[in-house]
Amino acid sequence: FTALLQAKQSAASGWASRDDLRGLEILIVEDNLTNSTILRHYATSWQMGVTCVENAREALAVLECAGRAGRHFDLALVDWKLPGMNGLELLKIIKKDYPGIKTFVVTAFDEENKKAAETIGCDAFFAKPIGLDALKKKVIEVLSHTERRMKTLVKSQVLEGAPQAKLLFILE
């Protein structure tokens, strides 16, 4: 027999289109305690798994540890201005080393910074202060877009006759 198998999808798949962020993992990189607390509150109110760190070095350590443990993050919400390595440099590393993570930039700065973030492939840009509804709407929009794209790719691969695995099961 032939079985068509689909690659495992992240927790984001299927949930974002239902306006439900429960179970997604978010990494918040924010050095301001008040802002970090607000963002953590937003994410936990949506029943997301939340990890908060204060700088890029800590963020990279968390990502590396998570990867070794077989965990992943669906989103990284990164402040532009961080102590040490800035948010833009961190985003470049995340995009290169962890391409499955959707990245959002949070800043008090202007449109010039938005263009720089978009150039490196940032998925969303927010000026502080961030509203609860605006953030949730953008998270859902970005994840829904990703889900639609994955479905299109899977469908087009099947239609184009992409190689399929054949499995033989022997039961004793």
Q: What's the per-residue H, E or C state across 99-113?
A: CCCEEEEEECCCHHH
Confidence tier at 156 by pLDDT (50, 70, 90): very low
Res 128: pLDDT? 75
The residue type found at 27 is L
58 pLDDT more than 90: yes
Express as a percent the part of the chain with pLDDT over 70: 71
* Count of positions (residues) in the chain: 172
SS3 at position 28: strand
- Max intra-chain CA distance, the chain: 66
Q: Is the pLDDT of residue 18 over 70?
A: no
What pLDDT is stored for residue 170 in this prediction? 52
> Residue 30: which region, alpha, beta or left (left: phi > 0; alpha: psi -120 to 50)?
beta
Query: What does the pLDDT look like over 61-115, one tens digit per residue?
Result: 999 999 999 999 999 999 989 999 999 999 999 999 999 999 988 887 666 777 7
Q: For position 172, what pLDDT does the model report? A: 46
**Is the CB of residue 7 less than 8 Å from the CB of residue 71?**
no
